[in-house]
Amino acid sequence: MPELPDIRIYVNRINKAVAGCSLEAFKLHHPFVLRTVTPSPDQFLDKKVIDVHRLGKRVVLQFDNELYIVIHLMVSGRLRFHPKEKKPNKRLILATLQFSSGTIHFTEASKKRRASIHLADESSIHDHQRSGIDATSCSFEDFCNALKSKNRTIKRALCDPSIIDGIGNAYSDEILHHAQMAPFKTTQRMSLQELKRVYESARQQLDYWTTFLDEKLGDNFPDKVTAFHPEMAAHGRFGKPCPRCGKPIQRVRYATNELNYCPICQTDGKLLSDRSLARLLKDSWPKKV
Ligand SMILES: [Zn+2]
């Protein structure tokens, strides 16, 4: 699923592509994608985009009539921009936003149909603010309060959008590896120094990966958004050498997820068994994005 660095890149590229441009056509190819009744899509026609920003993991297009299009990609939603007219892939397309500068295609490569569009005005846009904090801009105090509000494993807490919004399985693996922190440590038992390490690693890693993705793309719009990069230290690197100590990265598998960690750098050499950790995380593994 797209996480905060991916969303930041989308926001940046959509801003470059359509800011200052008018929406010429707004087509919803599947009625379920639109989850709101008012305002209506017609109210956006011929209006100009004045800003593109994000609310947690949602991409928000703000128009000059104080209306907003809020796009939530969930797991499989993706955005593409085509400066010239291009026929959408009928099987995947959810919506088309045609601007004077080109067309945004909103697609979803899954039959689960979780990706969504909400249309909002000045009052309802606030409903899209999630309770989770933004790790890249919050204070250390707010970070500690959020993490300690529920006694969860640090892995789970980082992935819970009601605690911290924007981090998923991939970047939580990278953050914990960078902080040399055991994924199963529970937040209320973490010392201030340990929390500080995770706080600083979260900011460092999310910024590092945003810059990395930005430079890798150059002037291009992201075509393929993936949670796996060969340059990552732990995530998706099972059996590969840890870049810090050289020992193989390990994994813990769940029904649909896998976490990766380095036993030397993160767990005092302990190998976490799938079963014991799965039991520990059983009730608290994130079920929703
Ligand atoms: Zn290591």
Tell me the mean pLDDT in the region 96-117.
93
Strand partners, 22: 48
Q: What is the pTM of this model?
A: 0.90
**Domain 4-128 annotated CATH 3.30.200.20:** no
Q: Ligand 1 mean position to 244 CA, how many Å?
A: 5
**Residues 155/187, Cβ–Cβ less than 8 Å:** no
Q: Ligand 1 mean position to 204 CA, how many Å?
A: 18
Distances from the Cα of 225 to the Cα of 39, 78, 97, angstroms: 30, 8, 20
Q: Ligand 1 mean position to 234 CA, how many Å?
A: 9
**Cα dihedral 184, 7, 165, 180 sign:** positive
Q: Give per-residue pLDDT as tens, 172-207.
A: 999 999 999 999 999 999 999 999 999 999 999 999
Q: Percent of the chain beyond pLDDT 70?
A: 94
The domain defined by 140-284 folds into Helicase, Ruva Protein; domain 3 (1.10.8)
Pairing of strands 23-28, 116-121: unpaired
Q: Ligand 1 mean position to 76 CA, how many Å?
A: 31
Token reading at 158: 């980082």
Dmax (CA) of the chain: 61
Q: Ligand 1 mean position to 34 CA, how many Å?
A: 45
Q: Ligand 1 mean position to 242 CA, how many Å?
A: 5
Q: Ligand 1 mean position to 78 CA, how many Å?
A: 33
Q: Ligand 1 mean position to 183 CA, how many Å?
A: 14
Q: Ligand 1 mean position to 211 CA, how many Å?
A: 24
d(CA 134, CA 166): 7
Q: Give per-residue pLDDT as tens, 210-247.
A: 999 999 999 899 988 888 999 999 999 999 999 999 99
Tell me the mean pLDDT in the region 145-171.
94
Domain segments of the chain: what residues?
4-128, 140-284
Strands of the 58-63 sheet, one edge to the other: 49-55, 58-63, 67-72, 116-121
Q: Ligand 1 mean position to 262 CA, how many Å?
A: 5
Per the listing, tokens 């979803």 go with 108
